[in-house]
Amino acid sequence: MSRAASVDEAYAGFYDASYGPVVAQVYALVGDLSEAQDVAQEAFLRLWTRWERVSTYDDPAAWVRRVATNLAISRWRKARYASRAIIRHGPPSDVAEPSVDSVSLVSALQQIPAPQRRALVLHHMAGFSVAAVAEIERTAVGTVKTRLFHGRAALARLLADTAVGNNFGVNHG
């Protein structure tokens, strides 16, 4: 058996023996089984990246339990800070559902080639100049102009009979 296979086997055996008790410990801390399982998985993932070193400790299970406890406390602190922010600032404002025009435009954009879509979105929606789009895309200005031309033509065809086509000026008669 290779060294890597024996390391994998040793880790797998340790995981099988230790996962349940770690979940139980974290569950006792957080009171939520799903959260406890997530924390335990993250702790064992961290253990995997350090297994060769931690496996030499007198009690590797103590290491993984400590990491799991620290992760649970860290998650609790983040949740506490988030709840304080909500209390201080109020809940986030409701976000309106996307309009029919927005849904039509996004649907049409998904149907054109990605380079054309990126050029259109960066130039027309994000407000970048053609030169800036060329820099972002790491391509020539002429290439961006071609992508914009073909992208607009494709959108014109896809949105010909919709209000969004008129609103965005993609209908050319």
CATH label of the domain that carries residue 51: 1.10.1740
State residue 163's pLDDT score: 62
Domain with 46, as residue range(s), is: 3-89
Beta strands in the chain (DSSP E): none
Give the mean pLDDT of 127-134: 91
Query: What is the domain count for the chain?
Result: 2
Q: Hey, what are 98's tokens?
A: 């996307």
Last residue of a domain, one of 56, 89, 122: 89
Rounded to an integer, what distance in angstroms lies between the CA atom of residue 122 and that of residue 124? 6
User: Does 94 fall in a domain?
Assistant: no
18 contacts: CB under 8 Å, gap ≥ 6: 44, 61, 64
**pLDDT band (50, 70, 90) for residue 167:** low
- Percent of the chain clearing pLDDT 90 (strictly above): 50
